[in-house]
Amino acid sequence: MIGVIVINFGNPERTIRFVREECAKIKAPHQVVVVDNGSGPEAMERLQTALSAEAVAIIPAKENLGFAKANNLGAEHAMAQGADLLLFVNNDIVFISGDVVDALAKRLVELPEAGMIGPKVRGLDGHLQSPEPFQTFAEKHLLPYWGKLFIGKSRRDALMQTDYAETAHAGWHYRIMGSFILMRTADFEACGGMDPNTFLYSEEAILSERLKRIGKGVWYEPSVEVLHEHGATVNSHYSKVRRRRMRLESDAYYYRTYLRLPRIQYLAARLTYALKALFGL
C-alpha cells in the first residue's frame, strides 16, 4: 500500500481539490493522509466534511510544524496502517501523466539501490524544476549576487548549473524536488526520516545525505511528469525577505550539520542578504 502524505496549510480548498482530482488517479492500493499544519478549527472542519467520503485520514497539528515535521507525522500514521511506500506530495501538483504514481512505484521496485524517486516536475512557466545538482553554499548564496561584480553571466550560469534540470536524463542525481517524492517505508525509517530541525527548505538535500548513509541514492525518472505551481502556498504567507531568511537558515543548518560549512561563508551570506533587504532588493 502507498501512503500518500499531503500537507495542508491555510488552504483547505486546494487540498480538497487535489485529493479528489489527483489522488483519484492512483490505481495502486493507497491511503491519503492529510496533515493539517495548524490551520485552525474552520479549516479542519472543512477538510473533515469535504473528505469524509474519501477514506482520507486527517491528522491535526496544533501549530505549523513546517515541512519536515509535518511529513514525518503523516508518514508515522501511514506506516502504522501498513504502508510499504510513502509518497510525499504537495497539494499544488497536477498529474500530467495520469499513471505517474503507479509508474514510479513500479520503477522503484526495479531499483533496489534507489532510496527515493521522482518524476519530471514542470512549473507553470514551462521550466523544469527537478532534478538539481549538488551546489556548495557559496554557489547558492554568494555567487548569484557577488559574482555579478566579477564574472560574466554565461560563466556565472555555468558555475551555478542553471540549465541542469532542462538537460537532465533519467538516472542518479543529487536531489529531486520535494513536491513529489516516492520512497520505500523501510528506507525512510532506516535513514531516520526527514530532519525535524528544518522548518522549510533544504529537506530534499538533507534527505539525500541521510540516504547516502544507508547506501541509497536518488533516481530521477522523466518518463512521467507532473505540473507544479511552485511556492503558491508559501508565497501567500511569507514575504520575500522572510522566505529568503528561512532558506538561508535551513541551508546553513544543512551545510553545517552534514557538510561542515565554514562559519565565514555563513556570515558573508547574512551580510549579503542584509544589504539586499536594506536596499529593497
Supply the CATH number for residue 107's domain: 3.90.550.10
Could you tell me if 93 and 155 lie in one domain? no
Number of structural domains in the chain: 2
pLDDT tens sequence across 2-13:
999 999 998 999
Give the range of the structural domain holding residue 41, as residue numbers without chain letter: 2-131+168-237
Could you tell me if 22 and 144 lie in one domain? no
CB under 8 Å, gap of 24 or more: what pairs does 204-207 form? Answer: 204/132, 204/175, 204/176, 204/177, 204/178, 205/174, 205/175, 205/254, 205/258, 206/254, 206/257, 206/258, 207/116, 207/175, 207/178, 207/181
Question: Which residues lie across from 86 on neighbouring strands?
Answer: 3, 183
Could you tell me if 14 and 106 lie in one domain? yes
Contacts of 55 (CB under 8 A, 6+ apart): 31, 32
Could you tell me if 243 and 220 lie in one domain? no
Could you tell me if 116 and 72 lie in one domain? yes
pLDDT category, 70, cuts 50, 70, 90? Answer: very high
Mean pLDDT of 213-228: 98
Whether residue 153 is predicted with pLDDT greater than 80 in this model: the reply is yes
Whether residue 232 is predicted with pLDDT greater than 70 in this model: the reply is no
Could you tell me if 8 and 140 lie in one domain? no
pLDDT tens sequence across 250-272:
999 999 999 999 999 999 999 99
Could you tell me if 108 and 188 lie in one domain? yes
Of the chain, the percentage scoring pLDDT greater than 70 comes to 96
Could you tell me if 25 and 97 lie in one domain? yes
Lowest mean pLDDT, pick from 21-25, 33-37, 91-95, 144-148 = 144-148
Residue type, 264: I
Could you tell me if 152 and 66 lie in one domain? no
Residue with cell 481539490: 17
pLDDT tens sequence across 154-185:
888 888 899 999 999 999 999 999 999 999 99
Comparing 226 with 52, the larger pLDDT belongs to 226
**The three three-digit cell numbers of residue 124, written as one number:** 507553470
The answer to whether residues 2 and 86 touch, using CB atoms and an 8 Å cutoff, is: yes
Could you tell me if 70 and 157 lie in one domain? no
The answer to whether residues 199 and 246 touch, using CB atoms and an 8 Å cutoff, is: yes
What does the pLDDT read at residue 233?
58
Could you tell me if 55 and 142 lie in one domain? no
Comparing 97 with 152, the larger pLDDT belongs to 97
Could you tell me if 100 and 226 lie in one domain? yes
